[in-house]
Amino acid sequence: MAPVPTRLNVAPVPPDEIFALNGAYFADPNPQKVSLGVGVYRTDDGKPWPLPVVEKTEKVLAAENDLMRHEYTAIEGDVPFLGLARDLMFGFESGDGDKEAKARIASVQTVAGTGANHLGALFLAHHMKPRTVWLSNPSWANHMTIWELAGVPRKTYPYYHAATRSFDFDGMMNTLETEAEEGDVVLLHACAHNPTGLDPNKEQWIAIAEVCERKKLFPFFDSAYQGFASGSVEEDAWAVRYFFNNKPDMEMCVAQSFSKNFGLYGQRVGAFHYVTNRSATSIRDIVVNNLCHLIRGEFSMGPRIGTTIVKKILTNDELIADWHQDLQVMSSRIKTMRQALYDELVRLQTPGTWEHIIEQNGMFSYTGLTPKQVYALKDQYHIYLLKSGRASISGLSEKNVKYVAQAIDYVIRNIL
């Protein structure tokens, strides 16, 4: 019998670099191997770190034995969680004092930050039909994939100035001023830019908000590191809150992740917030309704366990204090490792300038290493980072930082 041809028209898709790199790291038997690829917090022993406040909360929840933990939620998700997520992101206090401002925000639960970005892109593609989405160059690689799958043409604005290893504010602003058109979406990292670790300062954020308002651009914030980057949830939400509070006639949206700041990587906890302008609050419920239509056809509703943990923490003053302490532990260790790597490269008199390592912010550093140097680190030293030179600082420790610095020193001196 002759074989039946497939009806599919498919071609190979390149593997995801981060997950492929992580797989290669785990398969490597070398005892000195170092993972600087995947963006997951690690202790100084290189181990995962369930936040102590999360472990405490899990014990409380287990003792409560709430049978509803196995039930469905609503399509829009865990409604009490959504109110807490919104208040955390936009800085609302408890009570009704912010009732009018809250009325501008349509919120739904998502499958972590990736799901929030995807749902937002799909919603805007269906209902706003932007001609272009502007992504920073470089940006998180998944941003490109998400907007490609949503069918929205992508363009990039300059973000990283390679010669000085600094934020290219002038290049970004010039491109948005001269090339972006009314109705275009501008993807902005709320803090701890991935992959560069470079953020606008507050004066620059004010200028970015002004150009978005004047040119009628649509800001789309990706907030993956609130509280994790600086240790302060207020500081890391500053840009989002400035746009929201100072540009009330401008619509925007926020994709919010709880993976990093609560250590809930596997629980997939996220939210998407669409912000109407102050004259259009009457459409908020319609926005939620349309978001729910997309959710129902894709995953029906978000998972429950992670949101229950977040809810329990954010509604208990003692647990909130514990969580803030855990945020300080994580952010402080990242900063300590940045300083340790910088100090060791300076001690070795490694050619070039390395101030950017301590000037950058958050989990990642854009090291400035070339792809050839990155491959040499992997092949000769079993040190794994992305070919762009992006390194996850959380993979550094007191035990391996000298080894990593010596390896970087070697490839800088010997491999162009």
Same domain, 103 and 44: no
* Boundary-marking domain end, from 315, 336, 371: 315
Is residue 4 one of the residues assigned to a domain?
no
CB 212 within 8 A of CB 219: yes
Would you state the pLDDT for residue 306? 95
Count of domains observed in the chain: 2
Query: Distance (Å, rounded) from C-alpha 167 to C-alpha 160?
Result: 5
Which backbone phi and psi does 136 adopt, to 5 degrees? -65, 150
Same domain, 273 and 217: yes
Provide the token pair at 398: 């007191």
379 part of the active site: no
> Can you give the residue range of the structural domain that contains 32?
17-49+326-414
Sign of the CA dihedral running 110, 111, 112, 117: negative
Q: How far is CA 138 from CA 178, 190, 348, in A?
A: 20, 15, 30
Same domain, 262 and 395: no
Half-sphere exposure for 412 (CA within 13 Å, toward CB): 18
Query: Can you list the alpha helix ranges (DSSP code H) found in 183-304?
Result: 202-214, 233-236, 238-246, 284-296
- Catalytic member of 140, 147, 205, 323: 140
Is residue 58 one of the residues assigned to a domain?
no
In the chain, the amino acid numbered 29 is: P
- Catalytic member of 247, 260, 312, 378: 260
Is residue 56 one of the residues assigned to a domain?
no
Q: Where do we find the tokens 């309704």? A: 289
Same domain, 90 and 161: yes
Is residue 184 one of the residues assigned to a domain?
yes
Is residue 110 one of the residues assigned to a domain?
yes
Would you state the pLDDT for residue 96? 61
Query: In 3D, which of 225, 256, 227 has the Cα closest to residue 117?
Result: 256
* Boundary-marking domain end, from 315, 339, 366: 315
CB 214 within 8 A of CB 181: no
pLDDT in tens, 106-125: 999 999 999 999 999 999 99
Domain at 404, CATH number: 3.90.1150.10
Same domain, 204 and 304: yes
Would you state the pLDDT for residue 115? 97
Provide the token pair at 111: 């499958």
Q: What is the pLDDT along the chain (416 residues), one digit of tens a residue?
A: 777 777 888 888 888 888 888 899 999 999 999 999 888 899 888 888 999 999 999 999 999 998 888 889 999 999 999 999 999 999 997 656 688 999 999 999 999 999 999 999 999 999 999 999 999 999 998 999 999 999 999 999 999 998 888 999 999 999 999 999 999 999 999 999 999 999 999 999 999 999 999 999 999 999 999 999 999 999 999 999 999 999 999 999 999 999 999 999 999 999 999 999 999 999 999 999 999 999 999 999 999 999 999 999 999 999 999 999 999 999 999 999 999 999 999 999 999 999 999 999 989 999 999 999 999 999 999 999 999 999 999 999 999 999 999 999 999 999 87
Would you state the pLDDT for residue 94? 63
Is residue 131 one of the residues assigned to a domain?
yes
Same domain, 350 and 216: no
Is residue 121 one of the residues assigned to a domain?
yes
222 part of the active site: yes
By percentage, how much of the chain surpasses pLDDT 90? Answer: 83
134 part of the active site: no
Would you state the pLDDT for residue 325? 96
**0.85 surpassed by pTM:** yes
Is residue 367 one of the residues assigned to a domain?
yes
Same domain, 126 and 259: yes
Would you state the pLDDT for residue 415? 84
Query: In 3D, which of 366, 336, 367, 333 has the Cα closest to residue 350?
Result: 367
Same domain, 300 and 387: no
- Catalytic member of 168, 222, 236, 322: 222
Would you state the pLDDT for residue 17? 83
